[in-house]
Structure 1
Amino acid sequence: MKYIIATILVVLILLTLPNKSTKMNTLLPHKTILAFGDSLTYGHGASYDESYPAHLSSLTGHKVINAGMNGETSDEGLQRLPKLLEDKSIKLMILCFGGNDILRRQSMDALKNNLKTMIRMAKAKEIDVLLVAVPNIGLFGLTPLELYEEVAKEEKVPLLDGVLANILSQPSLKNDQIHPNALGYKQMAEKIYKSLVENGWLAN
């Protein structure tokens, strides 16, 4: 009987311990951030040095690779990611995909699975992930997509939600209906920087 009780106690202790997969590692000065996504990452609507990765590099002092590709869907991004992850200096990936999947009315289940696969690829390389949610673009404006919250919860990664929806709802911050302008990308970088501090990747 005492062995059964001891076993139960061990299980209870394990259940109350924090999940190690949610613990973020502070970025060392020489480590790299990978900004991976589509035109929102590339910086469409502004000059290349006004993209959010460029602003984020200035804010953090870290090298930030702008791996954004205009017009790319999550299917295409999934094929491109393995080569990028070969860079051993990368310790954090900022993942922002979904706009082109939404615009082309592709499967949201496929988008969700692609995002989950990308996150798992990064984790397999011991790279942390920050997921950035893209809003649904419909006839009635911008609305949240629950799949981002689901992915973040299932894969145990932090989620930055609402930032793009907020930027794209302000005419002064956007270049067109789906892309920020230079000021919008700057604000996007500032919000991401704040999230990196809050999640422990960067010291305040």
Structure 2
Amino acid sequence: MRTVVFLLLIITSPASFASMLVLGDSLSAGYGIEQDRGWVNLMRERLKNSGYTLEVVNASVSGETTSGGLSRLPGLLETHQPSLVLIELGANDGLRGTPLEIVRANLQQLVELSQSAGAKVLMIGNRLPPNYGPQYTQAFFGLFEEVAQQKQTALVPFLLDGVASDWDLMQDDGYHPRAEAQPKILDTVWSNLEPLLAP
């Protein structure tokens, strides 16, 4: 009796993700600049040019808080079923002086919901202006690393690293980066994102 063996070779693209969800605030929504020049859109273009075929869903909303993101995330996960979630929230909580235990709990739930849906998570941290006092600002900055370590997620420590300190790259309000800063922001995110894209 002759046995015939078929060998099936499946050639895939570099990406193993169907979609990526960006859940952020005005820093990811492209506040004050043309939408196509924001770092999320630049990331979409870089992914395409690098051979990744995943869809990028930018669900960022200006003024969004961790509580607001938490209320929207279940529906976004159900609709888009992302394999990777970028969480860039917390800055507006900090600017409003939200108690840190609330911010921490919300960030933890955002990560848990994403992971429970089968997605990898990239936590994106931020800093507050120094006028909020060293005790609060330092503890706030430390929240992101704390949650990332606890939940074993990848981490971008500071989204505006090298940008927030350069006034030529910031808009007049001092909070939002100009279009010229967006490629630098993307580079900051990309160095932590790229390892997650490996098949």
Instruction: Give me the TM-score of the superposition, normalised by structure 2.
Output: 0.81
Partner AA of 1:184 in structure 2: A
Asked if the contact 2:81–2:117 (Cα under 8 Å) also holds between the matched residues in 1, the reply is no
Instruction: Name which of structure 1's ranges 141-150 and 116-125 shifts more when overlaid on structure 2.
Output: 141-150
Question: Once superposed, which parts of structure 1, at least 4 consecutive aligned residues long, lie more than 6 Å away?
Answer: none
The one-character-per-residue Cα deviations of 1:64-102 (angstroms, maximum 9, x if unpaired) are 111111111111111011111013551111111111111
> Structure 2 stretches of 5 or more lacking a match?
1-13, 49-53
Matched, 1:121 2:113: yes
Partner of residue 152 from structure 1, selected from 133, 137, 148:
148
Partner AA of 2:190 in structure 1: Y
Partner AA of 1:167 in structure 2: V
Say if 1:33 and 1:140 are closer, same or farther in 2 by CA, change over 3 A: same
Asked if the contact 1:90–1:127 (Cα under 8 Å) also holds between the matched residues in 2, the reply is yes
Partner AA of 2:115 in structure 1: K
- Identity value in percent: 27
Counterparts of 1:165 and 1:139, CA distance in 2: 19
Say if 1:88 and 1:37 are closer, same or farther in 2 by CA, change over 3 A: closer
Say if 1:79 and 1:115 are closer, same or farther in 2 by CA, change over 3 A: same
Secondary structure of 2:126's counterpart equals: coil
> Structure 1 stretches of 5 or more lacking a match?
1-25
What's 1:67 paired with? 59
Counterparts of 1:98 and 1:134, CA distance in 2: 8
What's 1:111 paired with? 103
Aligned Cα root-mean-square deviation (Å): 2.1
What's 1:196 paired with? 193
Secondary structure of 2:129's counterpart equals: strand
Q: What is the aligned residue count?
A: 176
